[in-house]
Structure 1
Amino acid sequence: MDRKVPHTITRRAFLGTTAKLAIGAAALLAGSTGLFYYGAVTHRKSPAAGPPPGNYARLGAAADLERLRGVTRVDYEAEYIDAWYTKPAKGFVYIAAGEDGKLLILSPACSHLGCSVVPATEAQRAGRPETYFWCPCHGAEFDAAGGATFAVERGLDTFEPVFLDGSVYIDIMKPIPGAGA
C-alpha cells in the first residue's frame, strides 16, 4: 500500500543528525578561518633578503638620499596589497635632512584637505620666509620640516624610513600623522 504519511523520526536520530550538521558547520567555519589567517600571515612575512613585502615603496639608495641637501621631490612606484588584492600605486614624497641629520620623509598630502602641496614661490616666501610648501587648494603653508606655519594647526605627515640592503623604503599605507608639526 502506498502511504503518503511522512516517515516518523525518533528523538535519538534527530539529535544525532543535528549534532553531525552542527559539527560539520563548525569544522567548515574553523577551516576557512584558519585558511584566511594562514594566507594573511604568510603573505605579510618579510623575506630574509630582498625588498620588504607589498605596500613598501623603494625611494632610492640610502647613501644617495643621505647626501641630499635641501628638500627634494622623489617619485616612487609600489604595489598596494590588501589581502589577495594587489594594484599598482604611484606617488611622490619630499625628502629632507632633519635637524639631527636623519632623513625626514614628508607626505605631500595637506593635513587639511589632502591636496598635494607644492614648493612655495619666491613671492610667497618673501612675505613669510619660513614658508617652504604651499597648498594650492586653500593656501595652507608649511616649513621645510613639514610644520604648519599658516592656516592649519597640524603639519605634514611623515613616513618612517626602512633601511634594507642599502636602500630606503617607506610603507605607503602608514604615514605618521602630523609628525612634521
Structure 2
Amino acid sequence: MDNSKELFPLVDNDGNVIGSILRGEAHNGSKKLHPVVHLHVINSKGELYLQKRPEWKDIQPGKWDTACGGHVDYGENVADALRREVGEELGIKDFTPTFITHYIFESNREKEFVNVFAAHYDGCIHPSESELDGGRFWSAEEIACNLGKDVFTPNFESEYKKVVEPYIQSEKTHTNEQ
C-alpha cells in the first residue's frame, strides 16, 4: 500500500517549492499542487512501454499508464526523482532521458505539476513486482484502438495525445529529414 505519511513538496504553478504536504493530503481532494515525474520509454520499433497499475493503488487502480510515473520526494530534485523512480519501477539504471515539457494535471482528487521525459531504450525491463502489475510495449495502433475505452488512466490519455504522440511524430519527421 501507498504510505499516506510520505512527504512531498508543495509547489507553485512554476514548479518552485513553497512548502511540504503529506501523500494523503495530495490525494484527498485538496488539490494541493505537487511535482511528479513521467518517463515515456520508446523502443527502436517506435513502440511505447506502458505499466499496469496494481489494484491496490489509491489513484486509477488496474489501468495502463505511463512507463514510469512517480512523486518527487520532499528535498529531492526532479532529475534524482526520475532516476529513483525508473530504477524502482522498471529496473532500468542506464538510460538517457530527454526533457519534453511540464504541465499541470488536475483530476477530481489531485493536482500535479508533471515533468515529462522520454528515453529510447531496447534493453531489459524488469517491472517491480511490488509496485506494478507488469508492463509491455504497445504500438501506436494498439494505443489508438484503446483510447477512450477506460483501458488507460485519464492522465496518460491526455498526455499521450497532447505531448507524447506529437513528440514521437516530430522525431520521425526529424529522422526522415536526415
TM-score (norm: length of structure 1): 0.21
| TM-score (normalizing by structure 2) | 0.21
- Higher-Rg structure is 1
